[in-house]
Amino acid sequence: MSIRPKTHPTTILSLLILGFVHFGVANATLLSADETPSVEEQARLVLANQLPIEEVIDARVWRAMAGGDIIGNGGGIVEQRMFAAFKDTFRLVSQCLRNLTCPINSVDRNLLERVLQVARQNRHLPESLIFVSSTTYPLFFKDPETGLVRSAKTGFRPELPVFVNREHLYHNGQPALSSAELIGLLVHELGHQAGEANHTRLDDLGARLAAWVLQGGTLIERRLLGQQTQFQVINPKSPDEWPILWMGWNSQTTPLSSLARAQVQCLESDRTPIGMELSNVHWQRESLANDELTVPISAWARIFCQDRNAMVIYEDRDVDFVVTIKRPWTPQPTISTQIKWH
Ligand SMILES: [Zn+2]
């Protein structure tokens, strides 16, 4: 959530005139066509905060950073959840813009429309999120004005990665950021890519959007076989939308939204399901047999069904998400989910 001010050409010029002491630093940000540093060198300069992110044109630099050669991008639970949240941000922002209950004024709306455009453009980027350790690269997340170490940063144009501070994702091995905070953080960074420089304004917008998104949503948590286990439901804001669902166990996050959506049926065959919301989400007793841990999660589903006359009728059903986790528990258990309707 920090942007290094772009070095203005006049600044570089005056630094050059003032003396050669500054020459090294100023020179690092000057990328003329014939002396563009190598991909690896550009990655090194970005991490040393000597090359502004938005000045990097060659996407191979991000690939080099995300590929693990330089940073080592592992996949803990928060990292995985963040990738899922990144994909959902487009949908959540567009839901907010279409819904009158979303707490935004006309100025926010304008900014959020630009954020939506950026989210749409960035959805399929191969290197959308890059995790960097602020311990290994102490200058990268440091705000030059306040000296604060930020949780994330990016540059002032779309199609750039969002860089996330790995040291801020966990506290004593447990996830340090809630789903709301992840959504808020991503909206903040996409806001920078949409051209907004004000961190406070973006913090505020991100927090309001995240609070609105999670209103009426549910996160249930417990420990199973000594591992943190979570089931998250983010309900939609209108009857013709679908909930976002995922299950987390140990370091693995399993998205369930598409699976649930594919299996929803209306009781009458001439009705089409157009949306759903879940409430009363709760754990059932787990069972352990034959190296398989079975964890049922129950909920009340309200399915919105449209008939041939475009009338929308809701049907209330009970649903179980039966999650099966197979040994070996670590590092990569096999997790599968069955959905049972009653
Ligand atoms: Zn910021």
Q: What is the 3-state secondary structure (H, E, C) of 14-74?
A: HHHHHCHHHHHHHHHCCCCHHHCCCHHHHHHHHHCCCCCHHHCCCCHHHHHHHCCCCCCCC
Residue 104 Cα, ligand 1 centroid: separation in angstroms? 19
* Residues 6 or more apart whose Cβ sits within 8 Å of residue 70: 40, 43, 44, 47, 64
| Residues 103 and 202 both lie in one domain | yes
| Residues 205 and 155 both lie in one domain | yes
How are beta strands 292-306 and 272-283 bridged, if at all?
antiparallel
Beta bridge partners of 147: none
Residue 189 Cα, ligand 1 centroid: separation in angstroms? 6
Q: What is the pLDDT of residue 28?
A: 43
How are beta strands 218-224 and 227-234 bridged, if at all?
antiparallel
Q: What is the CATH number of the domain that holds 186?
A: 3.40.390
Residue 202 Cα, ligand 1 centroid: separation in angstroms? 7
Residue 60 Cα, ligand 1 centroid: separation in angstroms? 24
Residue 161 Cα, ligand 1 centroid: separation in angstroms? 14
Largest CA distance in the chain: 80
Residue 2 Cα, ligand 1 centroid: separation in angstroms? 4
Residue 40 Cα, ligand 1 centroid: separation in angstroms? 26
Q: What is the pLDDT of residue 193?
A: 96
Domain boundary among 215, 245, 280: 215
| Residues 145 and 259 both lie in one domain | no
| Residues 33 and 119 both lie in one domain | yes
| Residues 234 and 95 both lie in one domain | no
Residue 192 Cα, ligand 1 centroid: separation in angstroms? 7
| Residues 74 and 130 both lie in one domain | yes
Q: What is the 3-state secondary structure (H, E, C) of 36-47?
A: CCCHHHHHHHHH
Are 65 and 130 in contact by the 8 Å Cβ rule? The answer is yes
* Residues 6 or more apart whose Cβ sits within 8 Å of residue 262: none
**CB 67: neighbour CB atoms within 10 A?**
15
Residue 27 Cα, ligand 1 centroid: separation in angstroms? 26
| Residues 83 and 203 both lie in one domain | yes
Q: What is the pLDDT of residue 95?
A: 85
How are beta strands 162-165 and 129-132 bridged, if at all?
parallel
Are 29 and 52 in contact by the 8 Å Cβ rule? The answer is yes
Q: What is the pLDDT of residue 65?
A: 82
| Residues 277 and 223 both lie in one domain | yes
Phi-psi region of 236 (alpha: psi -120 to 50; beta: other; left: phi over 0): beta
Tell me how far apart the alpha carbons of residues 168 and 156 are, in angstroms, rounded to a whole number. Answer: 23
| Residues 295 and 182 both lie in one domain | no
Which protein residues have their CB within 5 A of the ion that is ligand 1?
Answer: 1, 199
Residue 152 Cα, ligand 1 centroid: separation in angstroms? 8
| Residues 47 and 133 both lie in one domain | yes
Residue 203 Cα, ligand 1 centroid: separation in angstroms? 7
Instruction: Count structural domains, the chain.
Output: 2
Residue 275 Cα, ligand 1 centroid: separation in angstroms? 35
**Which SS3 state, helix, strand or coil, does residue 325 take?**
strand
Give mean pLDDT in consecutive 10-residue pieces for the chain, a chain of 342 residues: 40 33 38 73 92 92 73 67 85 86 91 94 87 92 90 93 92 81 93 94 93 84 88 88 87 86 92 95 94 95 94 95 90 88 92
How far is the first Cα of the chain from the last one, in angstroms, to the nearest whole number? Answer: 45
Are 122 and 193 in contact by the 8 Å Cβ rule? The answer is yes
Domain boundary among 215, 242, 272: 215
Q: What is the pLDDT of residue 117?
A: 95
State whether the Cα torsion 271-273-279-280 is positive or negative. positive
Question: What predicted TM-score, i.e. pTM, was given to this entire model?
Answer: 0.73
Q: What is the pLDDT of residue 38?
A: 92
Residue 171 Cα, ligand 1 centroid: separation in angstroms? 22
| Residues 44 and 90 both lie in one domain | yes
Domain boundary among 168, 200, 215: 215
Residue 219 Cα, ligand 1 centroid: separation in angstroms? 27
**Owning domain of residue 133:** 1-215
**What is the enclosing helix (H) or strand (E) of 217?**
none
| Residues 91 and 126 both lie in one domain | yes
